[in-house]
Every structure is written in C-alpha cells, then in structure tokens.
Amino acid sequence: MIAYLIRRLLYAVPILLGVNLITFALFFMVNTPDDMARIQLGAKHVTAEAIARWKVQHGYDKPLFYNAQAEGGERLTQTLFTQKSLSLFALEFGQADDGRSIAREIQTRMWPSLAVAMPTFFIGLAVYLATALMLVFFRRSRLELAGVVMLVVLMSISGLFYVIGGQFVLGKLWHWAPISGYAPGLEAWKFLVLPVLVGVVSGIGESGRFYRALFLEEIHQDYVRTARAKGLSEARVLFNHILPNAAIPILTGVVVVLPRLFLGSLVIESFFGVPGLGSYTIDAIQAQDFGIVRAMVFLGSLLYIVGLVLTDLSYTLVDPRVRLQ
Amino acid sequence: MRFLFIVLALLLTGCLVGCQEPINSPHLAGLAADKVLFSAFSERPKHLDPARAYSENEMAYLGQIYEPPLQYNYLKRPFTLEPLTLSAMPEVAFYDAQGRVLPADAPAVRVTTSVYTVRLKAGIRYQPHPALAPDRVLTADDYIYQIKRLADPRVSSPIASLMGEYIIGLNDLGVAIEQKLKRGVAVDLVQEPLSGVERVDALTWRIRIKGKYPQFLYWLAMPFFAPMPEEADRYYGTALMRAANLTLDSQPVGTGAFYMAENDPNRVMILRRNPNYHADYYPTTGEPNDAAAGLLRDAGRRLPLLDAAVYSLEKEDIPYWNKFLQGYYDTSGIASDTFDQAIRIGPDGRPDLSPEMRARDIQLATTNRTSIWYLGFNWLDPVLGGVHDPERARKLRQAVSIALDWDEFISIFLNGRGLPGHGPIPPGIFGFKEGAINAVVYQPDGRRRALAEARRLLAEAGYPHGRDARTGAPLTLYFDTMASGPESKARLDWYRKQFARLDIQLVVRSTDYNRFQDKMRKGNAQIFEWGWNADYPDPENFLFLLYGPNRKQGKNGENAANYSNPEFDRLFTEMKSMDNGPARQAVIDRMVQIVRVDAPWVFAYTPKAFGLRHGWLANAKPNPMAHNTLKYLRVDPVVRQAYQRHWNRPLLWPVGVGVLLLIAMVYPAWRLWRRRLRMTAVEGR
C-alpha cells in the first residue's frame, strides 16, 4: 500500500504542474503585469514610473519563462513562472497585491470556512442518508411517492433561491437569525444557523435521490433476502446490511470532498458575509489578484488529489476485497 | 442525543423570547446600548497608509484617524477650509526669481516660489499606541516625515509625481532614495534632506512650492499631508510585522478623534474614541437652514460625540437594506432595487420619503455630488475629433450633444438622482453658475433643442439622414465602455436608440477595465464614457480634464478626450493661479463657453446622493469634501434599542405550525412502520 501511495503522490506532481501552467498562462494572457499594477494603483495620477516601481516591488518585472539577461541556472529561476508558480510547491504563497501575506490570510480565513462547511457537510450527510433510507423503507407507498416528488421539487430550485429565500423568511420575516454576518468564537453560532440550514436544505433533493438510488440497487441483492430470511427486522436490514454495502459509492462522493471543506463555499460565504476562503477567492478574482487566485487554485488541486487518495484508502476500510497495490 | 436536542431547543426558545437583544442582531452583544454608530462597507479598503490611500472608501476611515493640517468646515457652503491641528491658517509669501518678496496679488508669471508657513497648536497628543511614548505630542517633524514618505519609492504614493511638480526638492529626494536602495544602502528618512521643506521649530515648518499654486491648501486638508510619527513607521517596518500582516497600510496611527481598535477587513472594522483627542468643538454657525434642521443643537459641544463606530462587511445590497430596515444599521444609501420602496416622487418632481419610511422615522438627505459624468469624443479621431476637419466634426459633436436626452437618462437609470450637465464644473464648486444653460444644447427657455436642429447640424456636417453625403455610406460611430453584462444592456440600448434618432448607427464595444484603459491611453477610442470626482473644491480640478498638455494619449494625463484648444489652454494657465472672485469667474465663463461650442464632451450629468438615516442619528449633513465627519455625529442608543426590539420580535407561530406539520408527517410514517414490522411473508398469517 505504501508503494501505491508513493506512486499516487508522484503522479500528483505533473498534474499540479499542469494546473499551475494553465492558471499562469490564463492569467498572463488576459492580464499583463502592467494591467495588474494599474488596477492596484487606482484611476488617478498613475504614471509609467509608478507602474514600473510597482512591478519591481511585486516581482512582476521579470520575463515569463526564460531570462536571457541572467546567467547560468538563473535564466530559468529568475522568471515569473519559477518565482510565482513553482514556489507554491514549497507551500510558499507569497504576498497578495495589497502586500498582505497570503499564507497568513489562509490561516485566518480557514476557520470561518470550516465553521460553516463542517456542520453543513456532516449534518447534510446524515440528513441525506436518513432521507434516502426512509424513502427506501417506505418504498411502494404513498409516503415514498410524496417524498420523491418533494425531492424532485427541491432539486429543481436554484441554489441561490434557497439563500435569498432563507434570508427573507428566517431573517427578515420571522426574525429568527441574522440575515448575514459573522462573529468569531462562540457568538458565531447564531450566524451559522441560516447558512448551514440553507446549505443542508439545498442539497437534500439531489443527494437524497442519489443515495436512494444506491440503496434501491442494493435492496434486491441476495444478501438482503438472506438477512430477511434470518428474521431480521427491516430496520436492521437497512442499517446493518444495506448501508455498509452501499458505502463504496457513497464514499467516492464524500471522502474526496473532505479535505476541501476548509476552502469553503463561494456562494454561501459571499451571500452570508462569512469571511472564509470562499469569499477570499471570489474577491481575488474580482480584484484580479493573481497571487491569491494562483494560491487558491493550487491548494484546491492539491487537496482534490489528497481527497482522491483518501478515497482509495477508505475503500480498503469498508470493503475487505479491495487491496491497494 | 435526545438530551442535547432538548437543551438546544430550550436555549433557542429561551433566547427567542427573553434575550436582551433580538436574536437576529448581527452585532456583538451589548454594543447597541452604547453611543456607537453602525455602518457597513462593501469592499475592503486597499490602503490605510495616508501616503497611499486615495479612494473614497479609504478616506472614510483615514479621515477619522489622521489629522492633516486643515479641514473643511462641516456645515458651511461653499466648502471652506479651516485649521484642524494648526493655530491659524498657513501664511503664504511669494517670491520672484531674485528672491524678492512679492505682494499677495502678484501675477502668477512673476511668482517663482511660494512659501507656506505652517504653525501647529501645542500639546496635541497621539492615540495610545505601543510604538509611541505615552506623552508623545504632535510635532512639525511628523508632518515633514510624511512629506518625505510621499517621495519614497517604497511607499508608492499616488501623488508622488504630482507633488514632485510643486514641492521643491521632492523629486530629487525620490531619486536619491531610489539610488541608495539600488546600492543596498539603508535609508533613514529623518536624515534625508528635502530642500523644499524646512523645520523652523518643534511646532512650525515651511513648505516651498514652485510658482503660484493656490490649490496647495486643499491638499493640506487631505490625509496625504497628515503627520506620521517615525517611531510608528519603524515599528511596523520589521519583517516580523509584515509577515503577520501588520503594516502601516493596515494599522493607522494618528491624532484624530478616533483610532482603529479592530481591523478585520474580512468582517468588521471598529473605530473607538481616542482618549487623547485634543480640544475640538462642534461648529456654532452654519448655513441659514441648519438651525431649523437641528444641526446646531450640539453647537459648542466637545467632540467627538460618539464612543465608537462599527463598520461591518456587507457585500450585497439586499441584506444591507434589510438590516437597515431592522434598525441594525444607522445609515443606508438607496440601491435602484429599493428606490421605489424608499422614495416617492411628488407631483412637483421633488423626491420624498415613502409612507413606510416615514412610519419608521427614517430621514432623507440629498446632496449634489462634486462629480461629473460625461460622454467624451476622442479629439484625435478622424470623424469626431478636432484635428482633421474641425468644422465638420464640431457640428457632428454638437448634433450628438443635442440628441442625447440626459433628462430621460436620469429619469430611467438614476431614478431622478442627477442634474443634467451644462458644463464641466458641477454645482458646489466655484465657477458653476446656477441657471446658466448650455446654449448649444438648450434653448434660452431651458428646453432641450429640437431634434430637427440636431439633424440640420448633422446635414451641415456632411451626414444628411445619417449618411455620408459623398459616399452614401451610413454613419457608424463606435462607443467604448467598460459596461457589459445583462445589467448594462438597457443602458447601452438607450445609447443606441439615442444615436438612432439621428440615423447614426452606434456600435457598442464593451471591454474590460484593462482593455478600456489601454485604448484610452493609446487614443484608440472614438466615443467613451467617463467621470471625475473632485479631489478638492476648485474649478482647476475639473477644467484640467480638458487642458491640452494634460492629455491622456502620449502624456498619460487626465484629459481623456485628448482635447486641445490653444485659447482654452491659455485661459486655464491664467485661471488656475487666480483667487476666487469676479475676475476668475469671468475667465472660467469664457473657458466654459469654449468647451460648450467645441463640444469635446457631451456634458451628461452630476449625480445626486440620496442618503437615509434613522431618526436616532443626529447631526448628519452630507459634506462630499470633508472626510472627518464622524466626530460630529450623535446617536441616541436608548431610542435605537427600543426600535430594534419592536421591529425584531421573533415570530413564534411558525414553530407551532412546524410541529403540527411534523406530527402530520410522522404519524402516518409511524403507522406504516409498525405495519411493515408486523407484516408476514404470506398474507393472512
């Protein structure tokens, strides 16, 4: 298994390199360092000298891939690509265009992201599984029919509607929770109620139906019939037999997301004013801050790869037939 | 699990019913009971270093923390400068090339150097700060240090090059620092010489300016010229502080009425009253209506009147508006989505509050912004410009100016919040003449000229019915704009339709900010839209946007239309160093008339700012030039809390309905569950 892990991690290097190259090319094709400087320096009294100075200060005064004026190995190292993109492999994120340390920002902002994403994820998972199991339990009844119709309705509604509807009904009409905002520490709880609720409810339709389909596939298997023949109750059949056997496809979707939880949600954080990494990324895209975007894309790719490896590992835990070689 | 659920339910229900503050309050507990202003920001301020900050949203904080030598009187109009940290207004002396003193009214051509002598009040103290000794007082050295910082290439001040044109020796200082840095030599700004600034004593300094530049006083009211204690610069200059994101750009240190107590631009920024703030009092006189409006109730009171101000990050308009209606923000602007809810336009066309707002004791304040919006024609363009065929192009520009109906634009897209433009100077700035109309576009009775006149001008320009008389080709013009996306579509369609009234085809070239700026710098645009927000209330700050040597193409100036008229340029040079008075007004009138006839811009509109505030917030008078207005505001926290409780009582009936619904769902499920558990494999056994 260790050999497998090492091999997977080595595969990650060219993938991350490719992601970096694409991000780098996209950004520098759309935005020259001069453009970045102008955005940062504002609209008034911007001189050519100020732009040149900004580029030097932020390290954007170097050529893209090959520095003909440097000597030896520095021809490759004294370039924008090496300085700005490859340094990410050492987890050196550098500074944002406003001079703030990106690593520090990530450390600060990951906690609000986690505060929203963790409960949304785990409560959501529990709710989705429970909904799907219930629908399977009540299969071929009017309850199931009503439940499935409800799920189809829920999944047909845009995610933004849940956000705006939640803020309107719970925040504005009923006065149960702040419409948006965030506070650190224990005071955060009242700000989390609404985004977590919206996050969970908006996912019920799709995930509930997906898990229901997985369970329905299992319910006709021979081992289920055997379990029933042993005289087990339907509840025990569902929880002790069907749930573990449906775990592999569930884990495929679930474990891969886990490491990325702290990157937060772009939509939820923006609309609810949660100062997490999701809103950090959105702000950076709007401000065309290449430093932050490149760091977040790199981190996202890295964590996705970690998630995939963890998924493979989790298979071995839930299914003894799986061996990683 | 069941126990946990019960505890949570009790907590929630208990808090819904009995908490001191409503549970939907977005603020930290207890704050609303104090003299605290609650407001919001939609975008984090990029810079809080007074040498770098230039945007309005940055000035909103810096104005409260840093104290430049001068300030604008809060109530007086037209905008009037007065001492802030000075014992008196700066004294200015003029000298000729031989160093002889000139009289105050000496013509600008004779003045080689202006010397401003600036004297501080004694005993002004800084906010408490770990970098500063507790008895640290404000000195002339702090102001001189900041002027040097403007030249420091590491600081990248946006006004470095502009001030370099005026303050003697500033450019040389910048070059000297840059060279030292390149050689790896440490730079100590205290020791660096700046020939144009002289320390007279601990409270007095002199600034030497090239030529005559009366507008310099306005710069002395901006945070660029606020004092910076060198200890603070050193304190935040270490690598350790930078790694912790603690720099002067995020941690302001000043003598102002407030200091930055919490700077978390991801969430909230809190200003608190500076316990060391010097003696400063609410003005005792204002405009004639101010007393009736209750703006002089606090006359003579010691400032500031607030203990703190909390600014929360609020990116979206709708949550901001809803929280304002819930009483959690004290002030709010009016987005176009909520305009109809907030404002009713009366039969006389005047805006007034809607009954819903009145019922909540919300107040409306309107003011003309010191800004202009215009549609520019590129002077270098062969069709519309003034270089290739000036007479023909002038008529074409005038025809377009008549055809674009800005009253309609203001009504449709600004909800009436704007004044149609008649010239390059907005109301409130010296040089603007109330009631004076642009005779090229308007008739003497104030009505817009008929479209037939525009068509006649178009025909005279060689484009009868929108076709080139020589070739028969339809006239197509190109409009460059940064506006794109569905929200701009209606506006861009409006432009197309206005041009189509003259049978001119308008091609809209939407582009992003960078490409647009690039086109403007290269002079590649044909028609474009642009605006300008006053740095200071002087006509020079608007007329320089049309000054030939200040053109964008090739010179990177602010004259985006690249307009050039030798007579206008000559008058501008004359006007800019004159004192306000009839002679200056006469020169300005001639300049305005020249650009009305030349029509390098279509003078679009001056936006009007509409601001709402709750009745518990007093002394709010819009002042677009002043930045340090927070110290004059007062809140009544008792009234605010009472309203907040009244407006935010949680509704409990949905809980009952929810429980009933749950029972209605659970009961049949439970019955079915029981039936399924008892079910046998074979029916009937």
Mean pLDDT calculated for residue range B451-468:
93
* Chain B contact set for A143 (CB, 8 A): 668-669, 672
The Cα B224–Cα B62 span in angstroms is 10
pLDDT per position as a tens digit, B327-336: 999 999 998 8
Tell me what pLDDT residue A118 has: 92
Tokens of B141: 């050295």
Tell me what pLDDT residue A78 has: 79
Mean pLDDT calculated for residue range B79-86:
96
Tell me what pLDDT residue B5 has: 47
Dihedrals phi, psi of A300, to nearest 5 degrees: -60, -45
Contact assignment for A178 to B153 by CB distance below 8 Å: no
Decide if B24 touches A, using CB distance below 8 A.
yes
Decide if A231 touches B, using CB distance below 8 A.
no
Tell me what pLDDT residue A248 has: 84
Mean pLDDT for chain A? 86
Cβ-nearest to B677 among A32, A143, A234 = A234
Tell me what pLDDT residue B681 has: 61
The Cα B223–Cα B201 span in angstroms is 23
Contact assignment for B676 to A46 by CB distance below 8 Å: no
Contact assignment for B668 to A143 by CB distance below 8 Å: yes
Decide if A98 touches B, using CB distance below 8 A.
yes
Give B1's pLDDT tier (boundaries 50, 70, 90): very low
Contact assignment for B46 to A176 by CB distance below 8 Å: no
Give B672's pLDDT tier (boundaries 50, 70, 90): confident
**A-contacting residues in B 639-678 (Cβ below 8 Å):** 648-651, 654, 668-669, 672-673, 676-677
Q: Determine how many CB atoms are found less than 10 A away from the CB of residue B116.
A: 20
Mean pLDDT calculated for residue range B206-235:
95
Tokens of B378: 């590129």
Domain annotation covers residue A316: no
User: Beta strands of B422-512 (E only): which ranges?
Assistant: 476-481, 505-510
Beta bridge partners, B610, equal B366
At position B287, the amino acid (one-letter code) is E
Tell me what pLDDT residue B20 has: 65
Residue B11: is it exposed, middle or buried by C-beta count within 10 angstroms (0-12/13-18/19+)? exposed
pLDDT per position as a tens digit, A10-65: 888 888 888 888 888 887 767 777 777 777 776 666 777 778 877 877 778 777 77
Decide if A54 touches B, using CB distance below 8 A.
yes
The Cα A51–Cα B1 span in angstroms is 61
Tokens of A155: 């999944």
Q: Is residue B7 scored above 50 in pLDDT?
A: no
Tokens of B442: 């308007």
Decide if A172 touches B, using CB distance below 8 A.
yes
Mutual orientation of helices B140-151 and B170-183 as an angle, nearest 10°?
70
Report helix, strand or coil for A176.
coil
Number of Cβ pairs < 8 A linking chain A and chain B: 141
User: Distances from the Cα of B466 to the Cαs of B218, B305, B412, B470, B592, in angstroms?
Assistant: 47, 62, 26, 12, 29
Instruction: Return the residue of A nearest to B667 by Cα.
Output: A143
Q: Residue B304, preceding bond cis, omega within 30 degrees?
A: yes
Q: Which domain holds residue A271?
A: 109-284
Residue with tokens 């809803």: B322
* Minimal C-alpha gap between B220 and chain A (Å): 18
Which of B59, B152, B316, B653 to probe the A interface (max A CBs under 10 A)? B316
* Chain A contact set for B16 (CB, 8 A): 176
* Chain B contact set for A174 (CB, 8 A): 650-651, 654
Mean pLDDT calculated for residue range B498-520:
88
Sheet holding B258-264, edge to edge: B36-41, B308-313, B268-273, B258-264
Q: Determine how many CB atoms are found less than 10 A away from the CB of residue B633.
A: 23
Contact assignment for A175 to B650 by CB distance below 8 Å: yes
Give A206's pLDDT tier (boundaries 50, 70, 90): very high
Cβ-nearest to B156 among A31, A53, A108 = A53
Mean pLDDT for chain B? 91
pLDDT per position as a tens digit, A218-266: 988 999 999 988 888 888 888 889 988 888 888 888 888 888 787 778 8
Tokens of B7: 């505890």
* Minimal C-alpha gap between A123 and chain B (Å): 14
pTM for this structure?
0.87
Tell me what pLDDT residue A54 has: 79
The Cα B262–Cα B264 span in angstroms is 6
Q: Is residue B97 scored above 60 in pLDDT?
A: yes
Contact assignment for A177 to B649 by CB distance below 8 Å: no
Domain annotation covers residue A39: no
Q: Is residue B643 scored above 50 in pLDDT?
A: yes
Dihedrals phi, psi of A148, to nearest 5 degrees: -65, -40
DSSP class per residue in B99-149: --EE-TT--GGG--EEEEEEEBPTT-BPPP-TTS-TT-B--HHHHHHHHHH
Give B3's pLDDT tier (boundaries 50, 70, 90): very low
**B-contacting residues in A 284-323 (Cβ below 8 Å):** none
pLDDT per position as a tens digit, B611-623: 999 999 999 999 9
Q: Is residue B80 scored above 80 in pLDDT?
A: yes
Mean pLDDT calculated for residue range A159-175:
91
Asked whether B167 and B197 are in contact (CB, 8 A), the reply is yes
CA-closest candidate to residue B506, choices B466, B472, B462? B466
| DSSP one-letter code for A185 | G
Mean pLDDT calculated for residue range B480-490:
85
pLDDT per position as a tens digit, B244-299: 888 999 999 999 999 999 998 888 999 999 999 999 999 999 999 999 999 999 99
Mutual orientation of helices A2-30 and A290-318 as an angle, nearest 10°?
160
Number of domains chain A contains: 1
Q: Is residue B683 scored above 60 in pLDDT?
A: no
CATH number for the domain that contains residue A262: 1.10.3720.10
pLDDT per position as a tens digit, A279-302: 888 888 888 788 898 899 999 998
Decide if B323 touches A, using CB distance below 8 A.
yes
The ipTM is 0.82
The Cα B604–Cα B611 span in angstroms is 22
Residue with tokens 């009147």: B305
Instruction: Return the residue of B nearest to A104 by Cα.
Output: B244
Domain annotation covers residue A225: yes
Rg (CA), chain A: 25
pLDDT per position as a tens digit, B344-374: 988 777 888 999 999 999 999 989 899 999 9
pLDDT per position as a tens digit, B542-588: 999 999 999 988 888 889 999 999 999 999 999 998 888 999 999 99
Decide if A27 touches B, using CB distance below 8 A.
no
Mean pLDDT calculated for residue range A212-216:
93
The Cα A54–Cα A39 span in angstroms is 11
* Minimal C-alpha gap between A294 and chain B (Å): 19
Domain annotation covers residue A215: yes
CA-closest candidate to residue B420, choices B469, B375, B358? B375
Residue B24: is it exposed, middle or buried by C-beta count within 10 angstroms (0-12/13-18/19+)? buried
Q: Determine how many CB atoms are found less than 10 A away from the CB of residue A287.
A: 19
- Considering chain B, what percentage of its residues have pLDDT values greater than 70? 96
The number of residues making up chain B comes to 685
**A-contacting residues in B 354-383 (Cβ below 8 Å):** none
